[in-house]
């Protein structure tokens, strides 16, 4: 009688769970470029330009190629510096540099720092560089401290361009 009940068990196999490699790596994204752009927007807010620079577009010049450029372009589309629209201008060489509020000199173009300084000597332009040791020759210089983007601020160089730095910015900067 018991045999009737026995072994009505079909062969049964485990369903194989297919493991798919988690390939959802974020597309290569330059976090450092975005952080620099975020800081640069804050430089525009925490530094005061002379009244003659407070009309028209707020011009940010970029010399040569840098991933920061794309971020600045994206920023310019959605943000203003107070009432001024932001305009990003790319210069392929230092000789092309014209009047602007901020001038970014990427690492690869650091050798052009003297030429750029000469071009902006008479204007209220904040020169932003991004190479260790160049802070003495620019207004703000991005540096890496403990794996993070920080910035050196050369108060003398900035004042010489008739720019006024807010105390809040000074507090966060490495003042040189």
Partner 1 sequence: MKAHIDHIVICFLVVLLSNNFFAQNENIRNAINAYQQQDFESALKYINLAEQHEQTVKNPSTLYYKGIILKELYNLNSSDVNSDYRTQSIDYYQRFLEKNEDEKLKASVMKSLDYLSKTIYNDAAKTLNKENYQTSRTLFNQYKTLCEKYELSSQLNSIELQYKLVLGQVYSELYEQHRENTKGNKFFEEVIETYQSILKVDSMNWSANYNLGIHYYNEAVDKIKVAEYDLDIVAVGLIQDESVALFQKALPYMQRAYELKPNRKEPIIGLSGIYYSLNDIEKSESFNEKVKQLEGK
Residues that bind partner 1 (CB under 8 A): 1-2, 4-10, 12-26, 28-32, 34-35, 37-39, 41-42, 45-46, 74-75, 78-79, 144, 147-149, 168-169, 172
What CA–CA distance (Å, rounded) separates 27 from 117?
A: 37
Between 15 and 51, CB nearer to partner 1: 15
- Name beta bridge partners: 142: 151
Distance of CA 123 to the CA centre of its chain: 23
Q: Rounded to an integer, what distance in angstroms lies between the CA atom of residue 1 and that of residue 3? A: 5
At closest approach, how far in Å is the CB of 34 from partner 1? 5
Report strand pairing: 84-91 vs 58-63.
Answer: parallel
Name the residue nearer to partner 1 (CB basis): 13 or 92. Answer: 13
Q: How far is the CB of 63 from partner 1 (least distance, A)?
A: 20
- Contact by Cβ (8 Å): 134, 12: no
Provide the minimum distance between the beta carbon of 39 and partner 1 in the complex, in angstroms, as a whole number: 6
CB-nearer residue toward partner 1: 17 or 51: 17
Least distance from C-beta 118 to partner 1, angstroms? 29
Number of other CB atoms surrounding residue 69 within 10 Å:
18
Residue 122 vs 144, nearer CB to partner 1:
144
């Amino acid at each position: 009688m018991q045999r009737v009940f026995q072994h009505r068990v079909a062969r049964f196999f485990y369903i194989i769970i297919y493991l798919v490699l988690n390939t959802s790596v974020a597309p290569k994204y330059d976090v450092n470029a975005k952080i620099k752009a975020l800081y640069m927007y804050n430089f525009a807010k925490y530094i005061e330009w002379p009244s003659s620079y407070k009309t028209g577009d707020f011009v940010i010049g970029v010399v040569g190629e840098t991933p920061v450029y794309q971020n600045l372009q994206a920023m310019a589309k959605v943000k203003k510096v107070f009432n001024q629209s932001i305009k990003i201008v790319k210069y392929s060489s230092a000789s092309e540099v014209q009047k602007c509020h901020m001038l970014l000199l990427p690492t690869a173009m650091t050798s052009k720092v003297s030429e750029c300084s000469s071009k902006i000597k008479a204007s209220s332009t904040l020169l932003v560089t991004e190479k260790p040791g160049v802070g003495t020759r620019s207004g703000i210089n991005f540096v890496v401290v403990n794996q993070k983007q920080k910035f050196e601020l050369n108060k003398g160089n900035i004042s010489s361009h008739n720019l006024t730095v807010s105390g809040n910015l000074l507090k966060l900067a490495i003042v040189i």
